[in-house]
Amino acid sequence: MRLRHLVLTLLLILFWGFNWVTIKIGLNGGVSPVTLCFARYFFASLPAIFFIRRPQIPLQILIAYGLIMFALQFVLLFAGIYLGVAVGLASLISQQGQIFFTLILVAIFCGEKPNKWQIIGILTSFIGIGIIAINLHASASITGALLVVASSAAWGTGNLIAKKMPATNMLAVVVWSSLFAWPPMLLLAIFGEGAHSFVNSFIHLPWLSLVSIIYLAYVATLFGYGTWSFLLNRYPAATVVPFTLLVPIVASISSAIVLGEQIKSWEILAGTIIILGLCINLFFSRLLSFCLVKLGARR
């Protein structure tokens, strides 16, 4: 991965890690999860579609990407949270589970198979993820947990769709896909919560919730998924996807700074192991090849 793309990836992980703090701030303002998701994709698509030309890819791909990557993923995710899965555990399952689904799907449909060092790196990182999961002490219903796993499968499927897209303006893809994501959420919010409650949530919207919506729409969605799709179009999934293992670390640090949550020793240990696995995935095979070349040259 080129240095500028590595920096861009790390910036993306920083924004996505802080995204969970932003969601919590928005929900603390009295906005329901479904309404917050609706607002996220509504403002991500409007008024941007009037200024950004529709990308030159089939309309059905845009619709599929919006419905699966955005609408379906988050409907399943928040349904799982509603049924009792803790937010931290939901984030962990969804964001890290998509790694397995993505790698399996691209191996089947794109012929991209991770090498042995990438597999070792991913498995090493999941030791850290396991430490986080064990210490969360979250109670979750089986149905809720399965819904969150399904949300990670939706993310993995969305990654496959992005991988299959022809080279195009990925910001335009995110904007126009968002246009197809919010109508189902609007219907779900109105029929699930009532039209009166839905309208009132915007009439009495706290300013912190408004800031949260702006961040979710323009930073987490437009910049986040635009950059994510850009990277997936240029690098193998096994190179790009494992970076999401860093998201829980950023989320924990940002929660400590913004929300005053304490960082525990096991979180530091888990974070160190995750970073080690990511370094193995990205650099070890290259370092080993470099050392073998140097050793052969000396001989």
User: How high is the mean pLDDT in each 10-residue block of the chain (299 residues)?
Assistant: 88 89 78 86 92 90 92 83 67 73 82 76 76 62 79 91 81 92 91 86 86 91 86 80 77 78 71 75 61 50
Q: What is the pLDDT of residue 34?
A: 84
Q: What is the pLDDT of residue 288?
A: 57
Exposure letters 105-137 (e unless 16+ CB within 10 A, then b)? bbeeeeebebeebbebbbebbbebbebbbeeee
pTM: 0.75
Q: Kindly compute the dihedral angle of the four CA atoms of residues 259, 263, 268, 270, in this order, to the nearest 10 degrees.
A: -70
Structure token digits, residue 131: 């430490």
* Domain positions in the chain: 3-298
